[in-house]
Amino acid sequence: MASLTITIKPQVNHPKRILVEMDIEKLEKLAAALGLFNPEFLKSLDRAEKDYRAGRIKKIKSLKELTK
C-alpha cells in the first residue's frame, strides 16, 4: 500500500482533541484502503441511519462501554 502523509496537531484549547489534516486524494486513498467503498459497508451505513431515525441508539461516553 502507498504511504499517506497526514498532519496531526494537538489542540491547545482542547487537550483531549487532535486535528487531522489531509487533502481529498489522500482521504479517498485512506477510505479505499479501509474498505469504506465496499457495498457491505455502505449497506451497514444505511441500516445505521435507519436505526438512528427510529431512535434505536444509545449514547456512550467511551468505547469501553461497548464491551460491557
User: Which tops the pLDDT comparison, 4 or 65?
Assistant: 65
Q: Which domain holds residue 60?
A: 7-67
Question: Is residue 53 assigned to a domain?
Answer: yes
- The pLDDT assigned to 2 comes to 57
- Whether residue 34 is contained in a domain is answered as yes
Structural domain includes residue 45: yes
> How sure is the predictor about 54, in pLDDT bands with cuts at 50, 70 and 90?
very high
Cell representation of residue 37: 467503498
Tell me what percent of the residues of the chain surpass a pLDDT of 70: 94
Are residues 1 and 33 in contact, defined by beta-carbon separation less than 8 angstroms? yes
What type of residue sits at position 40? E
Alpha-helix runs per DSSP H in 1-68: 24-33, 39-53
CB neighbour list of residue 46: distance below 8 Å, 6 or more residues apart: none
36 lies in a domain? yes
Q: Is the CB of residue 8 less than 8 Å from the CB of residue 19?
A: yes
**Residue 58 within any structural domain of the chain:** yes
In a domain, residue 1? The reply is no
* Domain total in the chain: 1
1-25: pLDDT as tens digits: 456 677 788 877 887 888 888 888 8
Domain-embedded: residue 2: no
Q: Per-residue pLDDT for 66 more than 80?
A: yes
Instruction: Report the predicted TM-score, pTM, of the whole model to 2 decimal places.
Output: 0.49
